[in-house]
């Protein structure tokens, strides 16, 4: 089922044709900073299923212990809408929280759980996974 993700100002719109192939929340400090929230929702789709509909993006390269990631954010409002991670090279990551008009299903896993905010609890059926490599297995 088609869904669209939008930035805060609405000028950047990304359309996907399927559900994500990898879909999880991440409690790492970088996801907290990227979203300004308690965790990030990372939804990875096959690149061939993602269509950039509109908007003007700026980008930056993030490099950390999980590898390199090129991030694309709206040049007007600053929302990071999507990214390309070196370890998932035929996938595009989209910020799951940006699917507000037609939300994604519940995420399948939770990663970097040692860094989860102490006041936060998630549903019991979300699998705990401790690294991005675990997610792929
Ligand atoms: Zn925007
Ligand atoms: Zn993270």
Which ligand approaches the C-alpha of residue 93 most closely?
2
Distance 56 CA to ligand 1 centre (A): 8
The pLDDT, as a whole number, for residue 64 is: 84
Task: Examine the pLDDT at 137 and tell me if it is beyond 60.
Answer: no
Task: Examine the pLDDT at 136 and tell me if it is beyond 70.
Answer: no
Those residues whose C-beta lies under 8 Å from the C-beta of residue 18, and which sit 6 or more positions away, are 1, 45, 46, 49
Using DSSP's 3-state secondary structure scheme, residue 40 falls into: strand
* Residue 76, token pair as written in the block: 């007007």
The pLDDT, as a whole number, for residue 50 is: 97
* Residue 116, token pair as written in the block: 């989860």
Using DSSP's 3-state secondary structure scheme, residue 2 falls into: coil
Give the CATH number for residue 117: 3.90.1590.10
Task: Examine the pLDDT at 1 and tell me if it is beyond 90.
Answer: no
pLDDT tens-digit readout, 89-133: 899 999 999 999 999 999 999 999 999 999 999 988 888 875 555
Q: Could you give the number of structural domains in the chain?
A: 1
CB 70 within 8 A of CB 61: yes
Distance 76 CA to ligand 1 centre (A): 5
The structure's pTM equals 0.91
Range of the domain at 97: 3-136
């Amino acid at each position: 089922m088609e869904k669209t993700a939008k930035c805060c100002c609405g000028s950047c719109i990304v359309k996907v044709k399927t559900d994500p192939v990898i879909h999880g929340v991440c409690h790492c400090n970088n996801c907290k900073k990227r979203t300004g929230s308690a965790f990030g929702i990372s939804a990875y789709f096959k690149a061939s299923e993602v269509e950039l509909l509109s908007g003007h993006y700026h980008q930056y390269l993030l490099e950390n212990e999980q590898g390199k990631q090129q991030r694309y954010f709206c040049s007007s409002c600053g929302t990071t809408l999507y990214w390309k991670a070196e370890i998932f090279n035929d996938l595009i990551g989209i910020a799951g929280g940006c699917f507000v008009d037609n939300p994604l299903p519940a995420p399948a896993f939770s990663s970097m759980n040692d860094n989860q905010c102490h006041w936060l609890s998630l549903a019991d059926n979300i699998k705990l996974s401790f690294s991005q490599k675990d997610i792929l297995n």
